[in-house]
Amino acid sequence: MDLQNEKCVMVIDENLPLGMIANTAAIMGITLGKQMPEVVGVDVYDRTGNGHLGIIEFPVPILKGNIEVIKAIREKLYEPELADLTVVDFSDLAQGCKTYDEFIEKMKGISESELNYFGVAICGTKKKVNKLTGSMALLR
């Protein structure tokens, strides 16, 4: 992976409660780590010899959106010319399930148009990621 030409962002609904924003970011981050293990750096050691697990090698800005903005971005990400991007989404359906098996079953019975997204994470070439999110403000 060419880290100079790659970019990762998360767009999260700014209207969610703080705990839900944190949960959405954490869940999408874990999934990104699974999908892109090569971007996680080596473990490091402090001066006293204590180990610290490797973290991602580049920043992941968290941008503010809302349900409509995130939905529109997610729909664009289904377009063939964006198929090479790594995309993680987190929806109200996923958040409301108690088990992963429940999530699997409920997803089988719902269309994409019925999902309300709390967030979407996008990784890929800077040009494509910036085209989708370049004008968006940071979530603060």
What CA–CA distances, in Å, run from 2 to 6, 23, 35, 109, 125? 6, 29, 16, 39, 9
Note the pLDDT of residue 14: 97
Note the pLDDT of residue 61: 97
Note the pLDDT of residue 1: 62
pLDDT in tens, 12-34: 999 999 999 999 999 999 999 99
pLDDT in tens, 117-131: 999 999 999 999 999
What CA–CA distances, in Å, run from 83 to 75, 76, 88, 93? 12, 10, 13, 24
Note the pLDDT of residue 4: 78
Rounded mean pLDDT, 95-108: 96
Inform me whether the pLDDT recorded for 93 exceeds 80: yes
Distance of CA 112 to the CA centre of its chain: 17
All structural domains of the chain, each given as residue ranges with its CATH number in brackets, are 6-133 (3.40.1490.10)
Inform me whether the pLDDT recorded for 3 exceeds 90: no
Interacting residues of 64 by C-beta distance below 8 A, sequence separation 6+: 11, 12, 14, 136, 137, 138, 139, 140
pLDDT in tens, 37-80: 999 999 999 999 999 999 998 889 999 999 999 999 999 999 99
Torsion of CA 80, 4, 34, 52, to 10 degrees: -170
Torsion of CA 100, 54, 77, 82, to 10 degrees: -130
Rounded mean pLDDT, 103-127: 96
End-to-end CA distance of the chain: 29
Closest C-alpha to 123, from 29, 19, 46: 29
Note the pLDDT of residue 124: 95
